[in-house]
Amino acid sequence: MLPNLQVCPCQINPASDAIGAALLYKDCCQPYHDSSLSQNVLSQEADKTNSVKAESAERLMRTRYSAFVLVKPDYIVKTTLPAQQNLLDTQAIESWAREMNWAGLKIIEHIPKLGKRHAQVEFKAYFKTDEDLQAHHELSAFVKVADKTNKDARWYFLDPTVSMSVTQKQPCICGSGEKFKRCCGLYI
């Protein structure tokens, strides 16, 4: 998928004629993807010091889009809220990613602060069909989850398609300690 010097997939925007200095994959999403892969073989202690984490919901969205284009389903799973990860079908994610003829990404709006720990990213992920160029238009929700043992915080995607049996009064699936209805329940 990546041409010549491998412009990062998240840097390609077919809806824009603007010519800019697009980042190469190695300078954009690859460090995030490689860090995720290395986490599989590193110990938990090394995990926390060597991993590269997205500094914003938009950055995480971009790395996830690139992971779909480059068919990295493990990264998609690892960047989904941990309470939802075991409910994802990695093979279905991989199959869908392979079937798509990805054409580019356009971030429409990033709302970096919704409440204490949530953010939203509105985007269009473009793909080609036999007939023309189409767009998957989505408003995605993200949550920043703090690891209380080392005070590390990471952004995660809240997947609204994952079927979970959570009541509005139960503790939130993100581990915030708040009730689900007052936390992630507002966004999924």
Neighbour order of strands in the sheet with 152-158: 102-114, 118-128, 133-147, 152-158
User: Quick one: pLDDT at residue 151?
Assistant: 72
User: Quick one: pLDDT at residue 17?
Assistant: 62
CA distance 26 to 117: 29
Residue 73, CA distances (Å) to 14, 47, 89, 150, 188 in order: 24, 19, 9, 27, 22
User: Quick one: pLDDT at residue 101?
Assistant: 94
Whether residue 78 is predicted with pLDDT greater than 50 in this model: the reply is: yes
Radius of gyration of the chain (CA): 17
Kindly report, residue by residue over 158-180, the tens digit of the pLDDT: 999 988 888 888 999 999 999 99
What contacts 172, CB < 8 A, 6 or more positions away?
A: 178, 179, 180, 182, 183, 184, 185
Minimum mean pLDDT range among 36-40, 61-65, 127-131: 36-40
Between 8 and 38, the more confident residue is 8
3-state secondary structure of 39: helix
Whether residue 41 is predicted with pLDDT greater than 90 in this model: the reply is: no
User: Quick one: pLDDT at residue 36?
Assistant: 73
User: Quick one: pLDDT at residue 163?
Assistant: 85
Kindly report, residue by residue over 90-139, the tens digit of the pLDDT: 999 999 999 999 999 999 999 999 988 999 999 999 999 988 999 999 99
* HSE-CB of 125 using CA atoms within 13 angstroms: 20
CA distance 35 to 62: 15
Q: Tokens representing 103?
A: 């054409």
User: Quick one: pLDDT at residue 14?
Assistant: 78
Structure pTM?
0.87
Kindly report, residue by residue over 11-35, the tens digit of the pLDDT: 888 776 665 678 899 999 999 999 8
